[in-house]
Structure 1
Amino acid sequence: MTTVDTPYHPGERAAQSLAGRQDRADHAGRSIRDTIPPVAARFLTERRMLVLGAAAPDGRIWATQLAGAPGFLQAADERTMAVAAHPAEDDPLATALAGPAQVGTIALDPAGRRRMRLNGRSVPDGRGGLVITAEQVVSNCPKYIQRRTPLDRPDAGAPRAVAAGRTLSTAQRLTAATADTFFIATVGPDGRVDASHRGGFPGFLRATAPDRLSWPEYPGNSMFMTLGNLELDPRAGLLLPDWETGNALLVTGEARTDWSAEARAGVPGAERMVELTVTGVVELADATPLTWTEPEYSPANPPTAP
């Protein structure tokens, strides 16, 4: 729900106003397209992983990941991305993506610290993959991306759920507390989904209770696509990849942004804080057939709070 004057919906405009960043957002908004430029098409063909967010049939939002050899992502034309992969049977989004669905995606290049968002409508291609019609295409800055190189894992099995519940176990809380990267899917007007990246030093994401996660929002591109969605709809899904094993932790719940100075006091680099109330957790083994090299942390990462 945008207007001829702005690419942003009312929730994004509200978040930009709360942050005092409307002028910067207007400048950044010029980069939002509904087509895939040639440089982005080349970028897609080289990628090994795609983060994807969508709503499950029960309405909860999840984020997951797909992977393949270079070329599993292709720009079929300037409005279409073909994905030669689909969620496994145990994935919370398997049923949703078996039919038409609004999706938010990020094609990520950790080695080059590059990322590209493509949001739109997905349909099955009839061959075990997906075809996504682009509605928003955005190339984001390299901030907070930890540099990693993918490695193939020939002994990887099929993705399968090894744990599921409504709250985080002690081990899952430790996974969150040691993460340096996660991805968040949110939903805006008309059910349109966005997927975004968050990064920092281990400890920037905190599991404050079995049903609570919180994190600081660091300075970004001023579009406020994630926080703008949360201004209108609290549903959110988090993906925490295990870069060492190929496993993944998927979390769904409802998130709220605390814009107060008190909330961010003592948290280096934080401009605001977000807290997620967890309503569902799925842990996938062999979520991808990839592992990754040890991280080279982003020079943009603020120190974590003591």
Structure 2
Amino acid sequence: MALQQAAGAREHLEAIGRHIIRDHMPEQHRLFFAGLPFVVIGVVDPAGQPWATLRAGRVGFMSAPDPRHLRIELPRDAADPADAGMEDGDAVGLLGIDLATRRRNRLNGTLRRDWSGGFTVVVGQSFGNCPQYIQQREARFLRDPLSASADPPLVTVGLDERARRIIGHADTFYVATSADLADGQRQIDVSHRGGRPGFVRIGDDGALTIPDFAGNRFFNTLGNLLVNARAGLVFVEDKTGSLLQMTGKAEVLADTSGITAFPGAQRIWRFKPQQVVFRAAGLPLALSPLPDGWSPQTLRTGSWT
């Protein structure tokens, strides 16, 4: 709300939010999630650190028996650092995204381990998002999604050369943030970020500097960072399905002078990884860019160079 006020959009977004943010899934959202081969998940682990991850299954692994519940058929995955934040009663944020069509819908709620084959998310907030900055991709399975990667996760405290290469070539990543409310309720958000390859700048100290482009001005991510300066990021290697996950400290920069260095940016935020996990083939999908699949909004942004 503070960021909306600063952007001169508070009253406008108050009216929009009351109309589109629901406590249930409309029919089109129920069908949408059921047709996806993967979902982006945001959680907070027992140490209070946010993690973002991608989990996949054959189409139909998600289903909505009614407007207030989404059942997700997924085995536990000890190699995924996000798995520790997926216990019964934990808050969870979901992003359903169809990269081929640029459609995306959000679902935030409470995770329930109420059946042996996976878990159910009880809907807290359900709402749609615009298609801006989404690069079109085709999802193709590389292996049976029920089988785990044969490679163990590699954990570091900073960015090695491989991590720097993945980030330096990325045009997409996902970010998880959270906020603990006065009544004890925890809310988690997981969001998509897109730009030209290299839109995430890596500093000499290993910190990431990220432009925030014009969007829906809900400020789901940056609003959380104002009250809880922790975030979890995940980058995906398109051809291999390898995941680069990290958790650490984040801040929205008060000094806006850096905006002029990146055309299209309206504000800048910074992320310093504290724990980095590389999981080779952690996602059983290849997410291949489609020819001429660049988002028109992305092409109107610049680069750090």
Say yes or no: TM over 0.5: yes
Q: Secondary structure at the match of 2:133?
A: coil
- Letter of the 2:294 counterpart: Y
Match of 1:20 in 2: 8
Match of 1:78 in 2: 67
Q: Secondary structure at the match of 1:125?
A: strand
* Residues 66 and 87, structure 1, Cα contact 8 Å, conserved in 2: no
| Structure 1: distance between partners of 2:100 and 2:243 | 19
Of 177-186 and 158-167, more deviation after overlay is shown by 158-167
Of 104-113 and 16-25, more deviation after overlay is shown by 16-25
| Structure 1: distance between partners of 2:283 and 2:43 | 18
Of 278-287 and 17-26, more deviation after overlay is shown by 17-26
Aligned-residue offset at 1:294: 2.3
| Structure 2: distance between partners of 1:305 and 1:206 | 7
Match of 1:240 in 2: 235
CA shift in 2, pair 1:87/1:257, >3 Å: farther
TM-score, normalised by the number of residues in structure 2: 0.92
Match of 2:295 in 1: 298
From 245, 255, 258, the equivalent of 1:250 is 245
Match of 2:105 in 1: 116
* Residues 28 and 223, structure 1, Cα contact 8 Å, conserved in 2: no
- Letter of the 1:173 counterpart: R
Aligned-residue offset at 1:184: 0.6
From 150, 154, 162, the equivalent of 2:153 is 162
- Write out per-residue CA displacement over residues 185-223 of structure 1, whole angstroms, 9 at most, x where no aligned residue: 100133211111100110111221353111100011111
- Write out per-residue CA displacement over residues 35-72 of structure 1, whole angstroms, 9 at most, x where no aligned residue: 00001111111101111011111111110111011111
* Residues 169 and 210, structure 1, Cα contact 8 Å, conserved in 2: no
Q: Secondary structure at the match of 1:278?
A: strand
* Residues 79 and 153, structure 2, Cα contact 8 Å, conserved in 1: no
State whether structure 2 residue 214 is matched by structure 1 residue 219. Answer: yes
- Letter of the 1:299 counterpart: P
* Residues 87 and 111, structure 2, Cα contact 8 Å, conserved in 1: no
* Residues 73 and 119, structure 2, Cα contact 8 Å, conserved in 1: yes
| Structure 2: distance between partners of 1:87 and 1:271 | 39
| Structure 2: distance between partners of 1:260 and 1:79 | 42
State whether structure 2 residue 264 is matched by structure 1 residue 265. Answer: no
* Residues 169 and 197, structure 2, Cα contact 8 Å, conserved in 1: yes
From 128, 137, 141, the equivalent of 1:148 is 137
* Residues 168 and 210, structure 1, Cα contact 8 Å, conserved in 2: no
| Structure 1: distance between partners of 2:14 and 2:85 | 34
CA shift in 2, pair 1:162/1:209, >3 Å: farther
CA shift in 2, pair 1:287/1:125, >3 Å: farther
Structure 1: gaps of 5 or more residues: 1-12
Of 256-265 and 144-153, more deviation after overlay is shown by 256-265
- Write out per-residue CA displacement over residues 98-152 of structure 1, whole angstroms, 9 at most, x where no aligned residue: 3321011101100010111100000223323110001011110000011011112
Structure 2: gaps of 5 or more residues: none
- Write out per-residue CA displacement over residues 75-119 of structure 1, whole angstroms, 9 at most, x where no aligned residue: 121111111114511111223213321011101100010111100
Alignment of 1:5-84 (within 5 A): 13-29=1-17, 30-84=19-73
- Letter of the 1:181 counterpart: T
Match of 1:274 in 2: 269
CA shift in 2, pair 1:261/1:210, >3 Å: closer
TM-score, normalised by the number of residues in structure 1: 0.91
Aligned-residue offset at 1:171: 1.5
| Structure 1: distance between partners of 2:205 and 2:161 | 8
| Structure 2: distance between partners of 1:114 and 1:161 | 33
* Residues 42 and 94, structure 2, Cα contact 8 Å, conserved in 1: yes
Q: Secondary structure at the match of 2:289?
A: coil
Identity of aligned residues (%): 34
| Structure 2: distance between partners of 1:273 and 1:128 | 41
State how many pairs are aligned: 294
Aligned-residue offset at 1:289: 1.4
CA shift in 2, pair 1:239/1:87, >3 Å: farther
| Structure 1: distance between partners of 2:114 and 2:282 | 21
| Structure 2: distance between partners of 1:42 and 1:303 | 36
Q: Secondary structure at the match of 1:100?
A: coil
Match of 1:187 in 2: 178
| Structure 1: distance between partners of 2:144 and 2:190 | 30
| Structure 2: distance between partners of 1:24 and 1:70 | 37
Aligned-residue offset at 1:244: 1.2
Alignment RMSD, CA only?
1.6
| Structure 1: distance between partners of 2:205 and 2:80 | 22
